[in-house]
Structure 1
Amino acid sequence: MTASPSGSSTSEAQRFLDAHPEIEAVDIVLSDLNGVGRGKIIRRHELMGLYEEGRHVPVSIMALDITGEDVHETGLTWEQGDKDLRVWPVPGTLVPLHGTTPPRAQVLVTLFALDGTPFGVDPRHALKAQVDRLADRGLSAAGAFELEFFLLSNERDADGRIQPARAVVDGRASTKTEVYSVDHLHGMEPLVSDIYRAAAIQGIPVETLISEFAPGQYELTLRYRRDMLRAADDLVMLKRLVRAQARRHGVAACFMAKPVEAYAGSGMHFHVSLWDDAKRNIFAEIGDERFASNLLHGLGGLSATLSESMLVFAPHANSWRRFVSNAYAPVAASWGVNNRSVAFRVPAGSPTNRRVEHRVAGVDANPYLIAAVTLAGLMKGLDDRLDPGPETTGNGYAADATSSAIPSDWRSAIELAAGSAFLEQALGAPSHHAFVAIKRAEYLRVARTVSELDYRLYLHEV
């Protein structure tokens, strides 16, 4: 038996097996740089071996693009002979899956070299490094993600376009924005109930469900965690859960950032605050302060590093279609109080609960990388005592509020990320190199693809 470098224990596995004699197999899930779950399904009798010795996986599992193809420019394929590394379980993530036949479970895993050192291209390790940097300053982070997504029909409409899923209760179609409609949610009640039931089984603190600002769009919120790694684990597990339960009800859960051009896209808003060793929120104002200096400096760091970090928050070609005015996605490195037109919103509420809502990332981004870069940006702002500039009040899409615009396109974001010393520090050099290489390969794949739009614009015109 080898000591687990992830902190997992064989006693956790044994307790689980004793409590769940019905479980026949277990999904072991590793998040790659794109946030795609990669791994294996193992049989029940193999679970103790995973906890005792880990499990070998090829190094190239972290060199894959969004389609699962090797990106050789990462240096993680043939240059290393596609050698084996070892995954180990993430403590607390071994849970039953709801509705599987035969009964299965799931456990998140994280990647290490054979000698037990963290493998630098695992996105969970990137977040762990930033959590450790905070701890060295006597600080910890608390936070939660919001999950916006579409429920779509598995059939296209007569023009070949995607369409919202019909209500699973009675098949009723909806083609209008039913934002905040409770009656609309009732049409998805069996699916919603299964999502909540599955989340309870897995210990995921899912809270509010909302009908969002587009036909077929929804949002689920998660309870705040004082453990930032677990907050990101929650989002990873919830996303997988929603996709699986939707599929069982005959609809598709879509986590593209902008699946429908005429409506708002889907974000992954990230709420975060910082706490000192005395369990005080350092963003909370004291006395007559309007804003705490730590909050302003943190916002300054987020604003100063946003452009070079945009590739993390908008990692795919489709991500960039979300950033349009008046669509609840930011178009500038702006901040404001109780204002949903800015990049960094300070929600209304008591000083004790003061936090930043980072509204930039799309739901297609990797939550471990989002959190890692956000924490690094906050620390830079605190260390350098950065000024965030004036508060945006009113319309954050107005011309005078967008002077600090984000990069205009995906290619610009890739090049800014490639040359960013800040992003290299935030992700770690190995993850930074591999992530940029994967994004460049994906960009080239998209750029050389002749699309249906090309034919519509040019086939009979040029």
Structure 2
Amino acid sequence: MSSKPTDWTEQLPQAARDYIAGRRLDEVECIVADIAGVARGKAMPASKFAFQDRFFLPNSIFLQTITGEWADNPMGAFTEPDMILTPDFSTATAAPWTADITLQVIHDVNDQQGNPVPVAPRNLLKRIVGLYEAEGWKPVIAPEMEFFLVARNLDPNQPIIPPMGRSGRRAAGKQAYSMSAVDEYGKVIDDIYDFAEAQGFEIDGILQEGGAGQVEINLAHGDPVALADQIFFFKRLIREAALRHDCFATFMAKPIEGEPGSAMHIHQSVIDVKTGANIFSEADGSESIEFMYAIAGLQNHLPAVIALLAPYVNSYRRYVPDFAAPINLEWGRDNRTTGLRVPISGPEARRIENRLAGMDCNPYLGLAASLACVYLGLKERRMPRPECTGDAYMNDTDLPYNLGDALDLLSDSAPVREVLGIEFCTVYEAVKRNEYKEFLQVISPWEREHLLLNV
């Protein structure tokens, strides 16, 4: 127990205060993101939260796989010491789908000596942002979130299919940017808007993507940690909106065979803190040498962080030609066949779009990995390969073909391991190798169909 003031609600963002204004706050969810980006923590009555400024969770939450199993602790004895979690009130936001009046608050994660726990994903992103700050830079990102609305899938043995639209037909594919396609599941979109407004989040735009039931939400550019918090919250928000209308929202990289995958494109630039200028542009508006260094950093180091951008066996099903996904590390101006695209913009908004991250990645880790590559590029001061001006799908792939290969690249990259932190990389690899081993023990329908009677 502690001396937290009873007027703690005055520390909340305006949207959270507006949400509880004139109403009795029932519950507070105290949460952190685990390695997968799943919310872990405790819920407690608001009356208790008012007098408790910290709580405890074992550090083993960062050793849990997506299946609920536990990886062996590669850093020593598995004694599960408690970590100290303290609220970051700037993250407080509504949970408007709950029956009671509830707030969610992301917590900072420190060890018992007060040091940030290095394997906590949010701490890792803060670490990378801190490297930029030490150089007098401020990283700026803008994420795009793609996901599918799908029919309820109650049997994992059955394929995922598109949801039923208001017309009574299944959502159709190959309808990119169609407004009528979005209208098919307009009630879900309406709830997404309403929930986002209650939570104080700004949506830059919503559009229909190329897949059947596939939607893209764009967020305005800003601070990496704040936007990672929003994506973390948005995933839950979108799932809850879908459940209200008898469908699922999925962020799997490739949920439906024959349809495009779902990406989390990351637009990134860097600001000089002293001048406020975009370091990717010269004073005359031309591209700077730092812009080229940043592209080179992505080309040179993205292979080693693919395990963070594509964290599951399913992730690698997205990296195939002709499905609007990158298969290489080429760069080009306004070229969507390249893994690294330079969008059309004015000098002040010059940026690089990293198209490799899947929407299944933990947003804290995906942003940290991409920013780490740019940071390394700016420090190493190397030039990129020549610009690709044609169809980059015609080139050989630069990417690992599966999670095991991607983890090997992470394990072998000294520069990436140093920037991300040895302890984080070691724990992350242990968790992901455990997941990969579990997957390899599963016999797929393809194997039963083609091998059972033919080999």
- Normalised to the residue count of structure 2, the TM-score between the two structures is 0.93
Counterpart AA for 1:47: F
Q: Identify the match of residue 251 of structure 1 among 247, 251, 269.
A: 247
> Is 1:60–2:70 an aligned residue pair?
no
Q: Name the CA distance, whole Å, in 2 between partners of 1:3 and 1:119.
A: 25
Determine the structure 1 residue equivalent to 2:407: 414
Q: Name the CA distance, whole Å, in 2 between partners of 1:385 and 1:337.
A: 21
List per-residue Cα deviations over 1:192-239 (Å, max 9, x = no partner): 1111111111122212111111111110010111x2210111111111
The secondary structure found in structure 2 opposite 1:72 is coil
The secondary structure found in structure 2 opposite 1:28 is strand
1:196-275 correspondence runs (5 A): 196-225=193-222, 227-275=223-271
Range 306-315 or range 106-115, more displaced: 106-115
> Is 1:185–2:182 an aligned residue pair?
yes
The answer (yes or no) to whether the contact 1:30–1:39 under 8 Å persists in 2 is yes
List per-residue Cα deviations over 1:70-98 (Å, max 9, x = no partner): 1114447xx24222112122232211122
Q: Identify the match of residue 390 of structure 2 among 360, 375, 394.
A: 394
Q: Name the CA distance, whole Å, in 1 between partners of 2:22 and 2:437.
A: 47
List per-residue Cα deviations over 1:270-315 (Å, max 9, x = no partner): 11110002100001244373x3211111000110001111111111
1:376-387 correspondence runs (5 A): 376-387=372-383
Determine the structure 1 residue equivalent to 2:41: 39
List per-residue Cα deviations over 1:391-421 (Å, max 9, x = no partner): 011211013xx3x611222211111112221
Range 379-388 or range 133-142, more displaced: 379-388
Q: Name the CA distance, whole Å, in 2 between partners of 1:386 and 1:192.
A: 44
The secondary structure found in structure 2 opposite 1:397 is helix
Q: Identify the match of residue 336 of structure 2 among 340, 346, 370.
A: 340
The structure-2 alpha-carbon separation of the partners of 1:20 and 1:126, relative to structure 1 and needing over 3 Å to count, comes to farther
Determine the structure 2 residue equivalent to 1:101: 99
Q: Identify the match of residue 172 of structure 2 among 172, 175, 185.
A: 175
Structure 1 residue 20, shift from structure 2 partner = 5.8
Determine the structure 2 residue equivalent to 1:364: 360
- Normalised to the residue count of structure 1, the TM-score between the two structures is 0.91
Q: Identify the match of residue 164 of structure 1 among 162, 165, 176.
A: 162
> Is 1:448–2:445 an aligned residue pair?
no
The structure-2 alpha-carbon separation of the partners of 1:201 and 1:10, relative to structure 1 and needing over 3 Å to count, comes to closer
Unaligned runs of 5+ in 1: none
Structure 1 residue 18, shift from structure 2 partner = 6.9
The secondary structure found in structure 2 opposite 1:56 is strand
Structure 1 residue 319, shift from structure 2 partner = 0.2
Determine the structure 2 residue equivalent to 1:353: 349
Q: Name the CA distance, whole Å, in 1 between partners of 2:184 and 2:48.
A: 41
The structure-2 alpha-carbon separation of the partners of 1:421 and 1:10, relative to structure 1 and needing over 3 Å to count, comes to farther
Counterpart AA for 2:422: A
Determine the structure 2 residue equivalent to 1:307: 303
What is the count of residue pairs matched by the alignment? 447
The structure-2 alpha-carbon separation of the partners of 1:81 and 1:260, relative to structure 1 and needing over 3 Å to count, comes to same
Structure 1 residue 156, shift from structure 2 partner = 7.4
The answer (yes or no) to whether the contact 2:151–2:163 under 8 Å persists in 1 is yes
The secondary structure found in structure 2 opposite 1:349 is coil
Q: Name the CA distance, whole Å, in 2 between partners of 1:237 and 1:156.
A: 24
The secondary structure found in structure 1 opposite 2:99 is coil
Unaligned runs of 5+ in 2: none
The answer (yes or no) to whether the contact 1:373–1:426 under 8 Å persists in 2 is no
Determine the structure 2 residue equivalent to 1:48: 50
Tell me how large the CA RMSD over aligned residues is.
Answer: 2.2
Q: Name the CA distance, whole Å, in 2 between partners of 1:129 and 1:49.
A: 30
The structure-2 alpha-carbon separation of the partners of 1:391 and 1:248, relative to structure 1 and needing over 3 Å to count, comes to same
The secondary structure found in structure 2 opposite 1:92 is helix
> Is 1:436–2:429 an aligned residue pair?
yes
The secondary structure found in structure 1 opposite 2:320 is coil
